[in-house]
């Protein structure tokens, strides 16, 4: 038994325990016969038995003979079909090979009356026709390209079992007859000889049970190998490959297979079964003895158990896409981090509900995004700005890209401006939808700030920001102070000016002063992990004071404060602050009172935010 790439506590994993029990349950099963139509295949050990699951994230669970090479045989048909689709396109391929189940055995010469098109690419006739459609490219033979393609699926360079290939070629007369029939109907355009040798070599490619699971995981992962991250097939063709596997992959057992097991699958006479639960995982089974229909006998039992025990049936997995709406709130609940003077702050408290935020999540497809469209239009009468936050979005399909553009137009007609944020990773796709002019921001904080500024301008008029510098009496820190107290402080406080980009406070330094901003605004940044200037966490406008905690306990500064524009400020040093204890205790008491109230107000604001995020 091999165990690799598995969780560190593999012996403790209930998933591995289950797979080992399942392996033990069927290891003794004595049903079916090893294929013997060519001598090489009959050499397989009927006791070989491997089972492997690979998730679309690349987690691999292996039990049994998962590293024993064997020939891929008919399983290759599904993968070559995908390659031919890439080379020739949908319509061309459908004109050559149909996709209806034939109800007949794998080696029947099932050609449709009239056109001569094989019933489907999973029977020999269809597979040979498909093989003949793969193009030669840049000095690469058909077979070179097929081998490279299958190697991308498996995530490692595969090779051919030459003995099996020779054996296949020596005995493949029935397939040669099929090849000439295909030539007769012009399904293939050249003499079949080379195509047949390519087909025999394709069937003789060596894989392991683990390879099959990873090939399956690649199909489950929309064509990208989850371990190497390489694309094995253009994602637009993955659905077609999985469709044909679902209806025709298990020969004349296909209907019952979907009914009982419910996975897209393909079997081969080498004893392999490749099964896929689309979007979720791949399964590889290897056990050479075959049943009457040519499917691995143990493999069928194991897959039935797996599907039932792990609820992997396509139509019964219990997976329904969740709405893309993760959270909705408005700017009266969670405002931007811009701390404003009392008047604009008050306006935003009363009108903030006109800015709505919808935090989205997961994969945006029609079903998950439909509730977003519905909710956005229902909220439109009550709001002026709608922010869509893409931070927790993992993918956006073309349907939704289009819907986003159309939703924007619908909202605009209703007087609502749509704003998006945290969508950098989808930037190119969004641009393709002509959304260059859509207001886009790095994160929700910048988006909120933009909408707040616009809303304030709409309510207060365009000149609202051009106020003259504040007086000390305008500052919250000094509320309740008498004229005498203000004058007393005015004489003693320091005075500062700074240009855009200047540091007023540096993170990590010991706090020794409290600053009161009288003109301009400053940005508050946390250091990033690398010590560089990191995320902006606040903006303070004139009227706000900061640095009080460092003054109180001489702790290191928890963030850097940088002038966002030319600023004017006043400074209360520790020396001055401490001297108040003796020189002006009643003033000190008033200041501490105001500091406490401002901290309490921030605490209340954060509590509301926290409740909003915890949901």
Site for a copy of itself in 499-558 (CB under 8 A): 548-549, 552-553, 558
Quick check: 481 binds a copy of itself (CB under 8 A)?
Answer: no
* DSSP, res 478: G
Phi, psi at 515, each rounded to 5°: -115, 140
605: alpha, beta or left? (left if phi > 0; alpha if psi -120 to 50)? alpha
Find the binder of a copy of itself among 2, 13, 429, 573 (CB under 8 A): 13
Quick check: 378 binds a copy of itself (CB under 8 A)?
Answer: yes
181 versus 400: smaller Cβ distance to a copy of itself: 400
Question: Strand, coil or helix: what is 181?
Answer: helix
| Gyration radius (Cα) of the chain, Å | 35
Number of chain residues interacting with a copy of itself (CB under 8 A): 115
Phi, psi at 85, each rounded to 5°: -60, -40
Quick check: 109 binds a copy of itself (CB under 8 A)?
Answer: no
Quick check: 57 binds a copy of itself (CB under 8 A)?
Answer: yes
Kindly report the three-state secondary structure assignment for every residue of 484-502. HHHHHHHHHCEEEEECCCC
The single residue of 26, 63, 74, 264 carrying the catalytic annotation is 74
Q: How far apart are CA 537 and CA 606, in angstroms?
A: 13
Question: Strand, coil or helix: what is 505?
Answer: strand
The single residue of 63, 76, 77, 160 carrying the catalytic annotation is 77
* Residue position matching structure tokens 């509590």: 607
Nearest residue to 470 (alpha-carbon basis) of 593, 343, 594:
343
Element of type H or E holding 400: helix 398-413
**Interacting positions 85-104 with a copy of itself (CB under 8 A):** 98-103
Find the binder of a copy of itself among 105, 166, 380, 533 (CB under 8 A): 380
Element of type H or E holding 53: strand 50-55
Quick check: 318 binds a copy of itself (CB under 8 A)?
Answer: yes
40 versus 444: smaller Cβ distance to a copy of itself: 444
Task: Note if 400 is an active site residue.
Answer: no
The single residue of 165, 251, 253, 569 carrying the catalytic annotation is 251
* Residue position matching structure tokens 């033979």: 141
**Interacting positions 128-147 with a copy of itself (CB under 8 A):** none
Quick check: 384 binds a copy of itself (CB under 8 A)?
Answer: no
CA distances from 47 to 24, 27, 78, 305, 417 (A): 12, 7, 27, 19, 67
Find the binder of a copy of itself among 262, 268, 294, 520 (CB under 8 A): 262
468 versus 614: smaller Cβ distance to a copy of itself: 614
The single residue of 269, 372, 400, 567 carrying the catalytic annotation is 269
* DSSP, res 11: G
Quick check: 477 binds a copy of itself (CB under 8 A)?
Answer: no
Question: Is 540 in contact with 522 (CB distance < 8 Å)?
Answer: yes
Quick check: 259 binds a copy of itself (CB under 8 A)?
Answer: yes
Task: Note if 26 is an active site residue.
Answer: no
Find the binder of a copy of itself among 120, 151, 225, 560 (CB under 8 A): 120
Find the binder of a copy of itself among 17, 193, 471, 579 (CB under 8 A): 17
228 versus 558: smaller Cβ distance to a copy of itself: 558
CA dihedral 88, 89, 91, 96 (to 10 degrees): 30
Would you tell me how many other CB atoms lie within 10 Å of the CB of residue 194?
16
Q: Is the dihedral of CA 266, 198, 138, 181 positive or negative?
A: negative
Widest Cα–Cα separation across the chain: 110
141 versus 612: smaller Cβ distance to a copy of itself: 612
Quick check: 615 binds a copy of itself (CB under 8 A)?
Answer: yes
Angle between helix 142-154 and 192-203 (nearest 10): 20
Which span sits near a copy of itself by CB under 8 A: 40-48, 226-234, 432-440, 601-609? 601-609
Find the binder of a copy of itself among 46, 279, 439, 534 (CB under 8 A): 279
Phi, psi at 165, each rounded to 5°: -55, -50
Quick check: 14 binds a copy of itself (CB under 8 A)?
Answer: yes
Q: How far apart are CA 143 and CA 140, in angstroms?
A: 8
Phi, psi at 481, each rounded to 5°: -80, 145
Quick check: 586 binds a copy of itself (CB under 8 A)?
Answer: yes
Quick check: 256 binds a copy of itself (CB under 8 A)?
Answer: yes
**Interacting positions 233-252 with a copy of itself (CB under 8 A):** 236, 238-240, 242-244, 246-248, 252
Task: Note if 269 is an active site residue.
Answer: yes
For residues 198 to 237, the per-residue mask of contacts with a copy of itself, x marking binding by CB under 8 A and - elsewhere, is: ----------------------xxx-------------x-
* Smallest separation (angstroms) from a copy of itself to the CB of 456: 25
Question: Is 82 in contact with 241 (CB distance < 8 Å)?
Answer: yes
**Interacting positions 357-376 with a copy of itself (CB under 8 A):** 362-363, 365-368, 370-371, 373-374
Phi, psi at 436, each rounded to 5°: -55, -40
Quick check: 58 binds a copy of itself (CB under 8 A)?
Answer: no
Find the binder of a copy of itself among 399, 473, 487, 495 (CB under 8 A): 399
Would you tell me how many other CB atoms lie within 10 Å of the CB of residue 148?
14
Would you tell me how many other CB atoms lie within 10 Å of the CB of residue 575?
10
The single residue of 26, 153, 199, 385 carrying the catalytic annotation is 199
Strands (E), 446-529: 494-498, 503-505, 513-519, 522-527
For residues 407 to 436, the per-residue mask of contacts with a copy of itself, x marking binding by CB under 8 A and - elsewhere, is: x-xxx-xx----------------------
Find the binder of a copy of itself among 255, 469, 494, 508 (CB under 8 A): 255
Active site residues: 74, 77, 199, 251, 269
């Amino acid at each position: 038994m091999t165990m690799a790439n598995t969780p560190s506590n593999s012996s403790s994993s209930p998933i591995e325990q289950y797979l080992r029990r399942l392996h033990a349950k069927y290891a003794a099963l004595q049903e079916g016969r090893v294929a013997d139509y060519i001598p090489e295949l009959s050499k397989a050990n009927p006791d070989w038995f491997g089972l492997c699951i690979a998730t679309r994230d690349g987690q691999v669970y292996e039990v049994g003979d998962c590293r024993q090479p064997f020939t891929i045989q008919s399983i290759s048909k599904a993968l070559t079909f995908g390659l031919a689709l890439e080379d020739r396109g949908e319509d061309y391929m459908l004109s050559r090979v149909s996709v209806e189940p034939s109800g007949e055995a794998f080696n029947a010469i099932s050609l449709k009356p009239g056109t001569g098109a094989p019933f489907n690419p999973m029977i020999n006739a269809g597979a040979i026709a498909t093989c003949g459609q793969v193009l030669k490219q840049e000095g690469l033979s058909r077979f070179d390209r097929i081998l490279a393609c299958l190697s991308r699926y498996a995530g490692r360079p595969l090779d051919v079992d030459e003995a099996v290939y020779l054996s296949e070629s020596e005995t493949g007369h029935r397939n040669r007859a099929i090849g000439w029939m295909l030539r007769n109907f012009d399904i293939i355009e050249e003499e079949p000889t080379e195509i047949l040798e390519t087909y025999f070599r394709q069937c003789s490619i060596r894989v392991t049970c683990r390879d099959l699971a990873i090939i399956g995981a690649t199909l489950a992962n929309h064509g990208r190998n989850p371990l190497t991250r390489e694309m094995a097939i253009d994602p637009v063709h993955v659905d077609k490959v999985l469709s044909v596997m679902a209806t025709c992959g298990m020969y004349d057992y296909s209907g019952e297979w979907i009914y009982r097991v419910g996975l897209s699958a393909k079997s081969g006479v080498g004893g392999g079964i490749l099964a896929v639960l689309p979007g979720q995982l791949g399964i590889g089974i290897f056990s050479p003895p075959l049943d009457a229909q040519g499917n691995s006998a143990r493999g069928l039992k194991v897959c039935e158990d797996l599907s039932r025990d792990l609820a992997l049936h396509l139509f019964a997995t219990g997976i329904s896409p969740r709405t893309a709406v993760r959270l909705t709130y408005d700017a009266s609940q969670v405002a931007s981090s811009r701390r404003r003077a009392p008047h604009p702050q008050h306006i935003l408290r009363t009108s903030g509900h006109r800015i709505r935020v919808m935090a989205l999540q997961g994969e945006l497809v029609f079903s998950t995004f439909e509730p977003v469209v519905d909710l956005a239009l229902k909220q439109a009468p009550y709001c002026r700005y709608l922010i869509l936050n893409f931070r927790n979005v993992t993918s956006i399909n073309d349907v939704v890209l289009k819907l986003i553009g159309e939703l924007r137009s619908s909202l605009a007609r209703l007087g609502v401006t749509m704003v998006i944020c945290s969508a950098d990773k989808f930037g190119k796709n969004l641009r393709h939808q002509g959304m260059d002019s859509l207001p886009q921001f790095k994160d929700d904080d910048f988006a909120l700030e933009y909408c707040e500024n616009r809303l304030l301008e709409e309510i207060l008029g365009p000149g609202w920001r051009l106020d003259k510098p504040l007086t000390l009496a305008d500052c919250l820190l000094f509320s309740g102070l008498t004229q005498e107290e203000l004058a007393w402080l005015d004489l003693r406080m320091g005075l500062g000016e700074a240009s855009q980009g200047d540091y007023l406070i540096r993170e990590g330094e010991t706090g020794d002063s409290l600053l009161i901003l009288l003109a301009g605004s400053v940005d508050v940044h946390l250091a990033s992990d690398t010590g560089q200037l990191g995320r902006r966490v606040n903006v303070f406008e004139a009227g706000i004071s900061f640095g009080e905690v460092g003054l109180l306990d001489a702790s290191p500064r928890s963030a850097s404060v940088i002038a966002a524009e030319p600023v004017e400020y006043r400074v209360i040093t520790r020396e001055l602050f401490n001297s108040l204890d003796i020189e002006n205790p009643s003033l000190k008491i008033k200041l501490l009172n105001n500091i406490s109230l401002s901290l309490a107000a921030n605490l209340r604001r954060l509590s509301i935010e926290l409740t909003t995020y915890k949901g």
